[in-house]
């Protein structure tokens, strides 16, 4: 089973589509979709009544997925913006989530070509390792900034949530990615 | 769109991650250096997001309420059974109480017992705390033509508050049970042992001088005792509590920290009064 959308190079010799306004707008929307959808999910998941670890756990699968399969839609500045939003939404010390998400993004970027060819289970396992690294990074920087050891359970819960959320999020996002790919390849 | 040459774009793409990480460290330092700015930004963001949260909280609340409702329906059966059983038990107690009441009336008739008349009382509003000679005392506002005397007992709606120590033409001062100068003879309701409740200026008066061989139990009810003829017997005072040091205290029923109204009861007693009034208490104004 491979949920990873196949990276296919566009057939050579296709004429460049005309750059009229609706098409440009569409391309811009497609470019902004990963950032905007992730930001919306973050805002909705950080409701005051919800789980405090939820927002970070939802951010990691989304960022990892888009980095691997649509890197143009999840460039480092966008990850930075999402991390900043997350820092403001959760009451974490400023910058902690930015570093963690950028590290996750960097790792995914490095392994992107290899990961895109692997099956779903391998990608999931790699994501788990990456999420572990990111949560540990959050914990370490929080400890450094607050000069005290934060409790372990929230980190653990975040990791479990992120691991569990990856498959459904990946299924949803690969549908969206496939749709956008079809639209891009349409003559 | 700005058109850049391909090598420049590649360089920018390769550099953007390190630059962003450097920015992240900068943000971290900024957050550490200027907490006020960060707080202001955080509150601005929450202000902007508040309407969204308000909007989504309504369906969420509706769902939560529905879930609670369903859960309530699920336990309805067991609740019903439990209530029916409890009702049965209470009915038995009701019957027992009625039986005891009639038996009591019968025994009273046979003994020729004279019931005590209901004491008359004045309700007065507390207008000030503290002040005067005592650390724990309240000032009451009373109407000019009153029948209030020194030594009357003050109760709030829950229990014993203190005693009237000074009476003016429009005000009266009540020494609270928590004051260091307050000593109240009490009875432990479980063992019927007598003791003295001594104020400490703290929230809970100390229990002292209980007879040898009696150990006041935690949670035992404490009522006033008719010893020394200063109080009528059986006014509710509080319950016995053991404090962290292991000594026994009384948790008062009355809420002395926010008294609003007290009732001053005239039980017609002439027991021990504060020193300056030892000579003789004035007689009651109206005797039944």
Which of B53-67 are b and which e, b meaning 16 or more Cβ less than 10 Å from the residue's Cβ?
Answer: beeeeeeeeeeeeee
Distance from CA of B52 to the nearest CA of A (A): 8
Say whether B17 and A93 touch across the interface (CB within 8 A). no
ipTM entry: 0.80
A152 burial via Cβ count (<10 Å: 0-12, 13-18, 19+): exposed
pLDDT of residue A105: 93
Higher pLDDT, B118 or B158: B158
Read off the pLDDT of residues A87-110 as tens digits, 9 standing for 90 and up. Answer: 888 888 888 999 999 999 999 988
Q: Which of A114, A111, A107 is nearest to A131 (CA)?
A: A107
Interface test mutation site (partner B, options A41, A81, A95, A102, max chain B beta carbons within 10 A): A95
In B56-214 the beta strands, taken as DSSP E runs, fall at 120-129, 137-141, 153-155, 160-167, 171-176, 183-188, 194-198, 206-208
Statement: residue B268 has pLDDT above 70: yes
Read off the pLDDT of residues B50-72 as tens digits, 9 standing for 90 and up. Answer: 888 888 888 888 998 999 999 99
Q: Would you give the DSSP letter of residue B217?
A: P
Say whether A80 and B20 touch across the interface (CB within 8 A). yes
Q: Is A147 helix (H, G, I), strand (E, B) or coil?
A: coil
**Is residue A13 within 8 angstroms of chain B, CB to CB?**
no
Q: State which fold the B117-269 domain adopts.
A: Thrombin, subunit H (2.40.10)
DSSP one-letter string for A160-174:
HHHHHHHHHHHHHHH
Statement: residue B284 has pLDDT above 90: no
Share of chain A above pLDDT 90, in %: 40
Domain ranges in chain B? Answer: 75-111, 117-269
| Chain B hits for A91, Cβ within 8 Å | 42
Read off the pLDDT of residues B79-88 as tens digits, 9 standing for 90 and up. Answer: 999 999 999 9
Cβ B177 vs Cβ B185: under 8 Å: no
Say whether A98 and B49 touch across the interface (CB within 8 A). no
Cβ A43 vs Cβ B49: under 8 Å: yes
Say whether B52 and A145 touch across the interface (CB within 8 A). no
Q: B266's torsion region: left (phi>0), alpha (psi -120 to 50) or beta? A: beta
Cβ B231 vs Cβ B220: under 8 Å: no
Going by their DSSP bridges, the two strands B236-242 and B194-198 should be labelled as: unpaired
Read off the pLDDT of residues A2-32 as tens digits, 9 standing for 90 and up. Answer: 455 555 655 566 556 556 788 888 888 888 8
Say whether A105 and B17 touch across the interface (CB within 8 A). yes
**Is residue B20 within 8 angstroms of chain A, CB to CB?**
yes
Point out the residue among B23, B31, B49 whose CB comes nearest to the CB of A80. Answer: B23
Over chain B, what is the mean pLDDT? 84
Point out the residue among B28, B41, B56 whose CB comes nearest to the CB of A95. Answer: B28
Say whether B56 and A47 touch across the interface (CB within 8 A). yes
Cβ A112 vs Cβ A71: under 8 Å: yes
């Amino acid at each position: 089973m491979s949920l990873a959308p196949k990276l296919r190079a566009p057939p050579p010799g296709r004429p460049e589509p005309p750059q009229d306004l609706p098409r440009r707008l569409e391309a811009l929307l497609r470019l902004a979709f990963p950032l905007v959808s992730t930001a919306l999910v973050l805002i909705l998941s950080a409701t005051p009544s919800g789980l405090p670890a939820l927002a970070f756990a939802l951010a990691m699968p989304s960022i990892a997925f888009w980095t691997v399969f649509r890197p143009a839609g999840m460039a480092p500045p966008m990850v930075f913006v999402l991390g900043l939003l997350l820092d403001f939404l959760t009451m974490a010390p400023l910058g902690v989530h930015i570093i963690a998400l950028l590290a996750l993004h960097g790792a995914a970027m490095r392994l992107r070509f290899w990961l895109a060819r692997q099956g779903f289970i391998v990608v999931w396992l790699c994501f788990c390792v990456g999420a572990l690294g990111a949560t540990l990074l959050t914990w370490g920087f929080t400890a450094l900034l607050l000069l005290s050891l934060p409790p372990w359970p929230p980190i653990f819960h975040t990791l479990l949530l992120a691991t569990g959320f990856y498959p459904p999020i990946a299924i949803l996002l690969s549908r969206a990615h496939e749709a956008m790919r079809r639209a891009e390849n349409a003559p | 769109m700005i058109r850049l040459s391909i090598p420049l774009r590649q360089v920018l793409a390769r550099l953007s991650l390190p630059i962003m990480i450097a920015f992240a460290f900068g943000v971290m330092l900024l957050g550490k250096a200027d907490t006020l700015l960060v707080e202001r930004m955080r509150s601005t963001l929450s202000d902007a997001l508040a309407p969204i949260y308000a909007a989504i909280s309504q369906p969420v609340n509706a769902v939560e309420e529905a879930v609670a409702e369903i859960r309530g329906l699920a336990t309805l059966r067991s609740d019903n059974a439990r209530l029916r059983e409890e009702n049965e038990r209470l009915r038995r107690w009701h019957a027992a109480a009625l039986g005891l009441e009639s038996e009591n009336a019968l025994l009273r008739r046979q003994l020729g017992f004279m019931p005590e008349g209901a004491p008359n009382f004045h309700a007065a509003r507390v207008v000030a705390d503290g002040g005067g000679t005592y650390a724990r005392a309240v000032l009451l506002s009373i109407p000019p033509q009153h029948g209030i005397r020194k030594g009357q007992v003050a109760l709030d709606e829950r229990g014993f508050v203190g005693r009237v120590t000074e009476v003016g033409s429009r005000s009266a001062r009540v020494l609270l049970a928590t004051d260091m100068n307050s000593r109240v003879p009490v009875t432990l309701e479980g063992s019927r042992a007598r003791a003295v409740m001594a104020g400490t200026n703290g929230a809970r008066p100390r229990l002292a001088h209980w007879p040898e061989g009696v150990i006041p139990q935690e949670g035992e009810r404490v009522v006033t005792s008719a010893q020394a003829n200063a109080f009528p017997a059986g006014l509710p005072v509080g319950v016995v509590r053991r404090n962290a040091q292991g000594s026994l205290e009384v948790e008062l029923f009355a809420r002395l920290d926010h008294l609003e109204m007290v009732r001053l009861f005239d039980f017609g007693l002439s027991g021990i009064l504060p020193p300056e009034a030892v000579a003789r208490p004035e007689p009651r104004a109206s005797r039944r």
